[in-house]
Every structure is written in structure tokens, then in C-alpha cells.
Chain A
């Protein structure tokens, strides 16, 4: 339910100093070209911008999708209104971390577990059909390398502090 609270109409100022995103007319071209719009759950950058405009603070704070962005900046190129959706996505990430100190980006967990962030399992069948190796040659296929990589990641402060989340 979208209901406007006391400060919600001013909330956008916390997220971004730039005001370009106000021009968003919710056409959805940014989603159409976005590779992460096919992720699960999908990254719908237009909806994120609208949530900021309407100041849906709680909703936005618990939203993990901004972290699915692969920073290709395609949305920025195609936006007809110069809304800069890409920068908006990054600004939302910053705003989330600022407002929730315990927040760990879900992609960090994925990164630790698999060695990469984006789920690419969807294409396995297709690859097999055309005679390719069904699994991508990612780091997951090389367990000894992955172990080394995990050890390396464990030295990062934020992961060390929250090691219970990483099976440590």
C-alpha cells in the first residue's frame, strides 16, 4: 500500500542531491534494456525511482534489487528524460547503507559463496542445446581457486565482522 507519511514527500532529498530524476515519466525504457531486469527478483529501476519520488522509505530500505545492478549504465544512455537512472541506483545503495548500518549487500554473500554475483543458471539448457559446455567456466568450477578467493575475502573487515553469514 502506498500511503504518504509525514516526511515522505521530502525524502528524495536524502537519497540524491541531484534533481534530474524528478523528470521521470515512468516510460520504462530503462527496464527494457537492463540486463538485470531478467534476474530473480528483477531489477526494476523505474520502480525504484518512483519509490524515491513518492518517498516509500520502508519499502525502499528493504529492497535488495539495487544490488543486482551490473553497472553497465545502459539505462543512462537510453533514458529520454535524462533522469540518470544508473546514478540513482547507486545513490539508493549508498542511502540504504547509510540508514541501516547492519545492512550487508546480498550480492556480497553470493560473491563469497559462488565467486560471482549474477545467477547465470538460466542459460544452461540453451548452451547444452547448441553443443556448448552447459556450465559456464566460472570460478565455481575450480574449487581450489574458490577456496583461495574466499580466504582472501575473509580478510575484508565487513565480512570478517559478519562471518556468521558466510558459513564461517
Chain B
């Protein structure tokens, strides 16, 4: 270990309005008394909420901390959003300790709660100490960001980055900026801002031909207007290529959205009085339905038109769905919900009569409209398809589109340094697309950082000197991220595909794979830390839980207030498959009485065979222990899905109870 690492414990007394009911002041003395060393201990509420982006980095900088243990709520909800809410803070720099669920939720007795909290914080400190000592390389980073596609998402990303003083290369395949939303007020403001900015280089009618390099140092070959080629060096790439709409029926009274937008922009007064929008989300897709509502609202509110929307189900999903719907109702847009047969349109004297059955009043309706606005199902734009190809990202027919992705913004790609924003990634109406662009920009800004990038934990690499080229890693990698270089016959890990599960590192007989999250040493240190303070009776049980399934189940068990024995201490590992026989015997050797390995259900493992691997390792351990005359039950494997908190509580109780009186350790 080189120099002393400075690690801080930050805690919060309440998470999302739920009090933690743990006396943290007392806890500090307990941890300090146990010989744990840390640099800073303090309460910082609301660190990882939207609107406080960057505060965590500030705290770390002002206190000179190398790592942080965050004693508050669930690592699932906070950890997934770490790159957005705390730009500049690496995943390896933060350890989450879920006091809220594992202590406050699971235990009513204050003394028990505090003992458990103390043990969990010590475990967090132990892990963080290991993570902070992993050596990091510093690499130079190009100080520019490429934004591909100048729709609302791309524009808002470019303008945010320009405000931060970053150089931006904005590529647009078409001739004008703004994409489909060019006539909306907010977007028009962005266009003029971006065009006036010195920091943004706008390349129209341009496309990327080739991308070389990695996160922090990409080199783009761009084909400009007139076939001229240029090269640009950027640190991160934001892909906001949007969606495409095929043209609709163009004969009046039929009109397409594009044509209506044009007429509305040029002479809103000339538009006729009554406008009908046929936009059943089942038929035209949710995005068109959302778009119809927005356009109808604008026409009714700004220009006093009568808008009628015919749709079976109103799409109110997502953050803007409900508010858009309410804005439409307020503006006086009339919704008609036809039955399953839909609507029929009769054209008479250049006017359309829309007929159908209103399912609420159980009456036929016949509404006369001067114009009928239709759209067709959006499809992936050529730009998205081409970008996926150029960036060497494996995508299917829908390119980056992930309908229903409302949880994570922006959509993540497997290639580091490439961010997807807006409608290219998830069907998003304009405000949501702009927000997605902004979030992608925040992340891109964090990648550029201060001009250097630290390659450390989470950037897995193979120590070529130690590698015996047995190719166990090549065979075991669940996502095929490991290839063998032809000339030198050694394996290489592609950072495009690697998912950081760590299975290869656990399986490597030479221990040659370094720098993955929560390595063996960290688990062993957590095992050492979990022994203190010792529970009043019974064995110490260390539950090593897969971050995706078992840990989520443990969180949920605490949230539901299910009784979890005090002696069960929960630790988070990226995949159950990394708990190898080495780790298990190491833990037993340190004095942990029982080890529970909790993974995904065998046939539903995120890392394909991670769970199966864990089961086999546990079985090997049990056989060996039984042969040596020990208690085979001290090691156990439990496939528990994230929605099975009751099963987790039951298994935890069993593990804590079993053999309470015949402790394995010789006294």
C-alpha cells in the first residue's frame, strides 16, 4: 500500500423523507474506537438528487478525499444514477451503505440497529480502502465533444456544453437545425444561441465516416458538405440522431404533421377552424400520439383553433405524458375515444366527417373537421442506423431505440464515452428529449474532466506479464468481450463490450486480471470488517449478494420491514459469479462463520452463467468441507430474484439459526 488514503464517511439522517433513526454521532465514536481510519465524517443531506449535480465532487475536493462511504439509502437507485448526479466522481470512488433498508427497516431495537449500522459502515470503509488504493493511470483527454444530430436533444447538449466552456462539434445530416421540432419556441431559442456561439462548430450536411480510439481520445473522420473530408479529435460523443417520419397522405383534407408545422409556422391565421387528429397509439405509435397532443394543444391555446383528438387510449406514461394531457384538456382540446372499431372518415365538400362510437356516452359521433392530421409509425432514422454501424455498436432493427426506457436517461451504450440522447434512444417528446440531451452533456462534461482521465477500477485489463494464455477468461466471459490477439496469442478485453461482472478475474488461475470493481481483496476486507461489532449470540453470517438480484431482494426485505437476523451482514458484489472458492475459504479463514452467496435464478442470470458458476463454486466448497469433517452448511448458495424479499428473509433467518449452538470455530 503506497500512501495513506483519505476516506470520508458521509451520512444523511433521512432519505426521501424517511428518517434513518440511527445516532450517527455515536456511530462515529464506535467506528473510530475499532481502529478504522477515515478522514472526514459529516452529515450531507440530499447529495444525489436532481438539481445537486456536482455537489459530491465538491465535497470530495474541498476535503481532499480519495474515496467516500455514503451511509444513506439504496445503492441500486443511487448508484445507477451516479454518473449523472455526481459527474466527475468515479464508480470506484464511492461505496454505498444502505442504512435505510438494512438497519432502520429491518430492526426495531435501537441497539441492534446501531450495531448493524456500525458493522455495515466498517464493511463499506474496508471496501473503499481497497478500491482507493488501486493504481490509476492518467491519460490525456481531448477537450471537445462531438454531438451527432442537431435536434432538440443535440441542441440542448451542445448549448449546455458551450455554456461550460467546452468545444463542441455539432454534426447535422440535413440542411437546417432543430430537427422535427424546429418551429417550437424553446428549440428556436436554442438554434439561435448555438449558431451565435463561438464554441460550437456547426457542420451541416455532414456525416461520420469512421471513429477511431477510445473514451477520452476519439478521432472522427467526417465527410462534409461537398464530399470534403475533415478530422476532429473529441473526448466524448453524444449521439442524438432522432427518429424519422415517412411522409403521410398529402391530399387535403388530409395533412401530415410536417406540412401542418410548416403552415402553422408561416401563416397560423390561415389554418381552418376545426382540426382533427387521428392518432391512436396502438396504430400510429406512442410518440406520434404524444406529438398529436402537443400540436393540438399549441393550435388550440395559441391560435384559438378547435382541436379534436381521436384515440383509444391516451398515452399518459412518462414524466411529460400526464402534464401534456392536462395542458391539452385545459386548452380545450376535445378527446374522443372510439371503440375497438376505430373511426371512419368520410370526405364531403373538401371537409372530413369523422364517424365512430363514443365509448363513454355510448353514442355515435360525427364530427366535421376542415383538416385531418395523420402520422405514421416513426422509424429509426438513417442517421441512427449509420451511427450504430460507425461506432461499432451491436444493435438490432430498432437501432438505439428502446421503447419504454423511462428509467434511465440517457440511454447507456456498451461503448464507454459514447452517449445516446433524445429520441434516438427512447421515444421522447421535445421537453424530455431536451432533458436527455442535457443529462448526456453533463456526463460528457464529466468524461472530459480537467483534461485528464484516470483509468482505474472499472477499466478491466489483463496483466500481460502474469498471463499464461490459458484462455479460461476467453471461454468464460458471458458477453464475449474477450478476444485473442492473433499475433501475440494473448487475450484482450474490449472495453466496448465488457460489463464489469468480474467473472473472468475470479476464474483466472494466474490472478492476472486487474482493476474490476470489488475485487477479491475487497471482499476479504469486507469479511474482516463484518466481524465487529460481534452480535450478542449466534454465528456471523456474511451474505454476498449479486447487485442485480440478491442485493435488491435484501433492500426490499428491509423496506418491507421483514425481520432479518442481526448476525446476517449483507455485502454487495457485482455478480455472484465472482465469489470463487478462494474467496469463500479466505472468508472462513478470517473467522466468518457462514457465507451465503445470493445470485440470480440460474436460468435468468444477467451475466448468463454467473449464477451457475457461483453455484458450482459453492458446491465445490461444500464437498471439500464435508470431506474434511466440517459443517458443509457453513457455505450455501441461494438463487433469489430481486422480487423475492420474503425468500431472502427466510433464507437469512435459516442461515443465522442453523447450528447456532455448535459454532464451527474452536474455542
Tell me the bound Cα distance from A147 to B321 in angstroms. Answer: 60
Contact call A2/B366, Cβ cutoff below 8 A: yes
Contact call B329/A22, Cβ cutoff below 8 A: yes
Contact call B361/A2, Cβ cutoff below 8 A: yes
Q: Quick one: closest A residue to B366, CB to CB?
A: A3
A54-B334 contact in complex given A2-B365, A2-B366, A3-B366, C-beta closer than 8 Å: yes
Chain B residues 343 to 362 lying within 8 A of chain A, measured CB to CB, are: 358, 360-361
Contact among A1, A4, A51 with B364 in the assembled complex (CB-CB below 8 Å)? A1
Q: Is A94 an interface residue (CB 8 A)?
A: no
Q: Is B184 an interface residue (CB 8 A)?
A: no
How many residues does chain B have at the interface if contact means C-beta atoms less than 8 Å apart?
18
Contacts of B314 in A (CB 8 A): 25
Q: Is B332 an interface residue (CB 8 A)?
A: yes
Contacts of A50 in B (CB 8 A): 360-361
Contacts of B337 in A (CB 8 A): 26
Contacts of A23 in B (CB 8 A): 326, 329-330
Most chain A CB atoms below 10 A, which of B306, B330, B363: B363
Q: Is B367 an interface residue (CB 8 A)?
A: yes
Contact call B329/A51, Cβ cutoff below 8 A: no
Contacts of A3 in B (CB 8 A): 365-368
CB distance from B303 to the nearest CB of A (A): 15
Contact among A4, A22, A46 with B330 in the assembled complex (CB-CB below 8 Å)? A22
Tell me the bound Cα distance from A26 to B394 in angstroms. Answer: 44
A1-B366 contact in complex given A25-B329, A53-B334, C-beta closer than 8 Å: yes
Contact among A1, A24, A54 with B329 in the assembled complex (CB-CB below 8 Å)? A24
Tell me the bound Cα distance from A25 to B326 in angstroms. Answer: 9
Contact call A25/B325, Cβ cutoff below 8 A: yes
Contacts of B366 in A (CB 8 A): 1-3
A1-B363 contact in complex given A22-B329, A22-B332, A23-B329, C-beta closer than 8 Å: yes
Contacts of B361 in A (CB 8 A): 2, 47, 50-51
CB distance from B300 to the nearest CB of A (A): 10
CB distance from B586 to the nearest CB of A (A): 56
Tell me the bound Cα distance from A3 to B363 in angstroms. Answer: 10
Q: Is A136 an interface residue (CB 8 A)?
A: no
Q: Quick one: closest A residue to B316, CB to CB?
A: A25
Q: Can you list, as one digit per residue, whether each of A33-62 has a CB less than 8 Å from chain B (1) or not (0)?
A: 000000000000011001101100000000
CB distance from A56 to the nearest CB of B (A): 8
A residues with a Cβ closer than 8 A to B are 1-4, 9, 19, 22-26, 46-47, 50-51, 53-54
Sample (17) of A-B pairs whose CB atoms are under 8 Å apart: A1-B365, A1-B366, A2-B361, A2-B365, A3-B365, A3-B368, A9-B334, A19-B330, A23-B329, A23-B330, A24-B329, A25-B314, A25-B329, A26-B337, A46-B360, A50-B361, A53-B334
B residues with a Cβ closer than 8 A to A are 306, 314, 325-326, 329-330, 332, 334, 337, 358, 360-361, 363-368
